[in-house]
């Protein structure tokens, strides 16, 4: 298949890396095991910071020492970011230890992303200088009264000789009280604009910091805000074309909301690891709890949910490298699906732990309850689940006007997880507002189903096709209106997309990845989990669930990630979990 996708993106990576996951593996070794209390980014250290609602200073020092700030800056601007698939793996590794750290760094990336995409040379150079010097950034988008309605933004930027005067209040923004720079959405002339505020250069003139907001989870994260009071900035503060602020925010979110899923995967890995280790050492009725069928079923289903989330997340992240034209849709689907599945996976782990899931001591030092509280906010960050469904509704509905759009992206390229590719710098290929009408992930599902070969798997997969067609028909016919029916169709579309990601991964990547990825058991359980969420009657597969738990145990014993990707972890600290 010849296309603009293949001619632009199938190329040899200029990196010496043999896998896009090499950086994450190196980071794992540098940071050490999170269960070891003597490492800088340990679960124990994160708990101490959480209990005192203070910044996890030791963890950030470990992050800086490992060079994580360089991963936030594109190679073209002096950093190390050359692949979003690679960055996803890095975020996952950090989040396995402390979500407060990955979210804090993510807030800086959210602030910097529009500069990497639309900033001029001087703006990019200045922000790169700040980030590489370990400075914090904040995205001044959220306002208390506006919520997710960007058009309700009350902050205003009024022209004055040589620049603008900004007035407004940004609230519930990451790094708000400690940031050295901010990208600020403000109503302006001719429309909403995006402005780069260099707080260090301003000397805080016209800026008043708001206190940290007390939260249920992420207690170590600076979630706060700032007030702009006749804050004067020069003409060089304008990002991109004047009046394109809403468009730019929508574009940058395609990058950042994808990364939120990676944070969820890391936290869910640790939660499931805590539950597994406890079940293997906890004796009930004269044998380990992990030998009890109900416990094994919970572990299997929690693991399967994690794998469905992983396939969806990796495809969305890799699309930022090889199919950025599609991410207006796919990033919203991933943001809806992945955090929710990670929350469900952790809920299954909580059932395994039972009462111990609520304790602030005991199992893993009480780390589980912090993980669960921290993870709970990921479905909200970068747009709530309702916001994502609304985006999916609008995107798929708009595709009805592009009846001639045909698939162009080769699926082996999109699902070539780990294979290095040359990813265009953000400014070299800016995000589009629509996905173009062709959606290879679900459009090519028929061909993938027919190519499966396994009758049982094909039978499960074939049940997705009418669900896809019905959801699409609703969205094409009535998706332009915000109705219950349209939102339900968008939800079902997202779940079909997730199942399709699992099927495409199986068909195109199982041989290269090997191990668990090459065994049909994971796919059988994964498809059944999705079909159940679609309300379809489906029997469990006890044999497949049993094999999945055995592989889960093997992965933990051999210091591997709970993943289809054979990712080596830091040697595990084997202290008792309870």
Query: For 348-387, how does the pLDDT look when each residue is reduced to its tens digit (9 = 90+)?
Result: 999 999 999 999 999 999 999 999 999 999 999 899 999 9
Mean of the per-residue pLDDT values of the chain: 94
Q: Which two tokens stand for residue 393?
A: 């509704």
* C-alpha dihedral, 483 to 319 to 448 to 402, nearest 10°: 50
Q: How many CB atoms lie within 10 A of CB 430?
A: 16
Question: Is 196 in a helix, a strand, or coil?
Answer: strand
Question: Does the pLDDT of residue 429 top 70, yes or no?
Answer: yes
Radius of gyration over alpha carbons of the chain, in Å?
23
pLDDT tier, 12 (very low <50, low <70, confident <90, very high otherwise) = very low
pLDDT tier, 404 (very low <50, low <70, confident <90, very high otherwise) = low
Distance of alpha carbon 192 from alpha carbon 299, whole angstroms: 48
Cis amide bond preceding 190, omega within 30:
yes
* C-alpha dihedral, 260 to 266 to 267 to 269, nearest 10°: 140
Q: Give the DSSP H/E element, type plus range, for residue 334.
A: helix 327-353
Distance of alpha carbon 496 from alpha carbon 395, whole angstroms: 16
- 46 and 28 Cβ atoms separated by less than 8 Å: no
Q: Which two tokens stand for residue 319?
A: 């699309």
What is the percent of the chain where pLDDT is above 90? Answer: 91
With CA atoms as reference, report the closest residue to 368 among 358, 376, 377, 378. Answer: 358
pTM comes to: 0.96
Phi, psi for 213 (deg, rounded to 5): -85, 135
- The answer to which of 3-12, 149-158, 336-345, 507-516 has the lowest mean pLDDT is 3-12
With CA atoms as reference, report the closest residue to 373 among 158, 217, 250. Answer: 217
Q: Which two tokens stand for residue 550?
A: 């055995």
Phi, psi for 313 (deg, rounded to 5): -65, -45
pLDDT tier, 520 (very low <50, low <70, confident <90, very high otherwise) = very high
Q: To which residue do tokens 């959480």 refer? A: 50
Q: Which two tokens stand for residue 83?
A: 């692949």
What is the model's pLDDT at position 17?
46
With CA atoms as reference, report the closest residue to 425 among 7, 14, 1. Answer: 14
349 contacts: CB under 8 Å, gap ≥ 6: 268, 271, 272, 274, 275, 298, 299, 302, 357, 368
Q: To which residue do tokens 């800026």 refer? A: 207
224 forms bridges with which residues in the sheet? 173
436 contacts: CB under 8 Å, gap ≥ 6: 325, 326, 402, 405
Segment 182-208 shows an average pLDDT of 94
Distance of alpha carbon 139 from alpha carbon 148, whole angstroms: 14
- The answer to which of 170-179, 233-242, 404-413 has the lowest mean pLDDT is 404-413
- 83 and 421 Cβ atoms separated by less than 8 Å: yes
pLDDT tier, 155 (very low <50, low <70, confident <90, very high otherwise) = very high
What is the model's pLDDT at position 52?
96
Question: Does the pLDDT of residue 4 top 50, yes or no?
Answer: no
The length of the chain, given as a count of residues: 578
Q: Is the dihedral of CA 545, 546, 549, 555 positive or negative?
A: negative
What is the percent of the chain where pLDDT is above 70? Answer: 96
Q: Which two tokens stand for residue 325?
A: 């034209």
* Residue spans of alpha helices (H) in 411-518: 411-414, 440-443, 445-450, 455-462, 464-478, 484-513
Segment 451-474 shows an average pLDDT of 96
Question: Does the pLDDT of residue 103 top 90, yes or no?
Answer: yes
6 contacts: CB under 8 Å, gap ≥ 6: 410, 413
CA angle in degrees (0–180, nearest 5) for 73-77-83: 50
pLDDT tier, 548 (very low <50, low <70, confident <90, very high otherwise) = very high
- 42 and 36 Cβ atoms separated by less than 8 Å: yes
Q: Which residue has the higher pLDDT, 72 or 575?
A: 72
Segment 55-69 shows an average pLDDT of 97
Question: Does the pLDDT of residue 6 top 80, yes or no?
Answer: no
- 149 and 87 Cβ atoms separated by less than 8 Å: no
Segment 154-159 shows an average pLDDT of 98
Segment 14-41 shows an average pLDDT of 88
Question: Does the pLDDT of residue 14 top 80, yes or no?
Answer: no
Distance of alpha carbon 288 from alpha carbon 286, whole angstroms: 7
pLDDT tier, 401 (very low <50, low <70, confident <90, very high otherwise) = confident
Segment 486-512 shows an average pLDDT of 97
Distance of alpha carbon 304 from alpha carbon 531, whole angstroms: 13
With CA atoms as reference, report the closest residue to 223 among 237, 232, 231, 213. Answer: 213
Phi, psi for 44 (deg, rounded to 5): -65, -40
Segment 411-431 shows an average pLDDT of 96
Euclidean distance between the first and final Cα of the chain, in Å? 55
- The answer to which of 9-23, 292-306, 544-558 has the lowest mean pLDDT is 9-23
What is the model's pLDDT at position 223?
97
Q: Which residue has the higher pLDDT, 400 or 546?
A: 546
- Report the interhelical angle of 293-322 vs 327-353 (nearest 10°): 160
Domains of the chain: 4-132 (1.10.540.10), 137-239 (2.40.110.10)
CA atoms lying within 13 Å on the CB side of residue 329: 26
Q: Which residue has the higher pLDDT, 310 or 398?
A: 310
What is the model's pLDDT at position 575?
60
What is the model's pLDDT at position 204?
80
Whole-Å CA distances, 78 to 15, 69, 70, 89: 15, 11, 8, 20
Distance of alpha carbon 202 from alpha carbon 184, whole angstroms: 14
Segment 20-39 shows an average pLDDT of 97
Q: Which two tokens stand for residue 299?
A: 């572990």
Per residue in 208-242, pLDDT (tens digit) is 999 999 999 999 999 999 999 999 999 999 999 99
């Amino acid at each position: 298949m010849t296309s603009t996708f293949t001619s632009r993106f199938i190329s040899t990576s200029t990196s010496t890396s043999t896998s896009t996951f090499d950086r994450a593996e190196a980071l794992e070794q540098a940071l050490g095991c999170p269960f070891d209390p003597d490492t800088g980014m340990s679960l124990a250290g994160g708990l101490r910071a959480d209990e005192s609602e203070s910044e996890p200073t030791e963890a950030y020092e470990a992050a800086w020492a490992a060079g994580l700030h360089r991963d936030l800056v594109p190679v073209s601007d002096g950093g190390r970011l050359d692949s979003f698939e690679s960055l996803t793996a890095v975020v996952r590794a950090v989040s396995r230890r402390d979500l407060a750290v990955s979210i804090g760094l993510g807030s800086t990336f959210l602030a910097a992303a529009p500069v990497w995409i639309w900033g001029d040379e001087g703006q990019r150079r200045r922000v790169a200088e700040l980030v590489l010097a370990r400075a914090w950034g904040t995205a001044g988008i959220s306002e208390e009264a506006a919520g997710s309605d960007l058009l309700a933004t009350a902050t205003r930027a009024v022209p004055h000789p040589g620049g603008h005067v900004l007035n407004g209040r940004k609230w519930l923004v990451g790094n708000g009280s400690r940031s050295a720079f901010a990208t600020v959405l403000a109503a302006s002339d001719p429309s909403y604009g995006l402005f780069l505020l260099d707080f260090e250069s301003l000397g805080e003139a016209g800026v008043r910091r708001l206190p940290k907001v007390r939260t249920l989870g992420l207690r170590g994260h600076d979630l706060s805000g700032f007030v702009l009071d006749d804050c004067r900035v020069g003409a060089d503060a304008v990002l991109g074309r004047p009046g394109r602020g809403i468009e730019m925010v929508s574009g940058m979110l395609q990058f950042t909301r994808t990364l939120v899923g990676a944070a969820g995967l890391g936290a869910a890995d640790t939660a499931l690891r805590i539950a597994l280790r406890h079940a293997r050492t906890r004796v009930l009725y004269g044998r380990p709890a992990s030998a009890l069928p109900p416990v094994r079923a919970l572990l299997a289903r929690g693991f399967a949910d994690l794998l469905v989330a992983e396939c969806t997340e990796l495809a969305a992240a890799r699309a930022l490298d090889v199919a950025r034209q599609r991410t207006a849709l796919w990033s919203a689907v991933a943001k809806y699906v992945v955090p929710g599945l990670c929350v469900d996976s952790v809920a299954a782990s909580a059932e395994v732990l039972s009462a111990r899931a609520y304790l602030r001591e005991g199992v893993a030092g009480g780390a589980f309850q912090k993980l669960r509280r921290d993870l709970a906010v990921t479905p909200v960050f970068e747009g709530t689940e309702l916001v994502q469904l609304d985006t999916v509704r609008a995107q798929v509905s708009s595709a009805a006007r592009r009846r001639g759009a045909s698939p162009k992206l080769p699926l082996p390229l999109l699902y070539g997880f780990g294979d290095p590719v040359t990813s265009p710098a953000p400014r070299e290929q800016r995000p589009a507002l629509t996905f173009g009408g062709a959606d290879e992930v679900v459009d090519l599902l028929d061909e993938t189903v027919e190519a499966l070969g396994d009758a049982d798997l094909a039978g499960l997969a074939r049940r997705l096709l009418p669900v896809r067609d019905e959801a699409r028909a609703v969205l094409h016919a009535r998706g332009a209106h915000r109705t219950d029916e349209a939102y339900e169709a968008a939800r079902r579309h997202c779940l079909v997309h997730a199942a399709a990601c699992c099927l495409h991964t199986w068909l195109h990547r199982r041989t290269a990845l090997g191990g668990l990825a090459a065994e049909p058991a994971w796919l059988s359980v994964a498809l059944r989990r999705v079909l159940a969420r679609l309300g379809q009657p489906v029997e469990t597969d006890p044999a497949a669930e049993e094999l999945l738990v055995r592989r889960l145990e093997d992965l933990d014993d051999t210091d591997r990630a709970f993943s289809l990707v054979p990712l080596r972890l830091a040697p595990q600290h084997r202290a008792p979990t309870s």
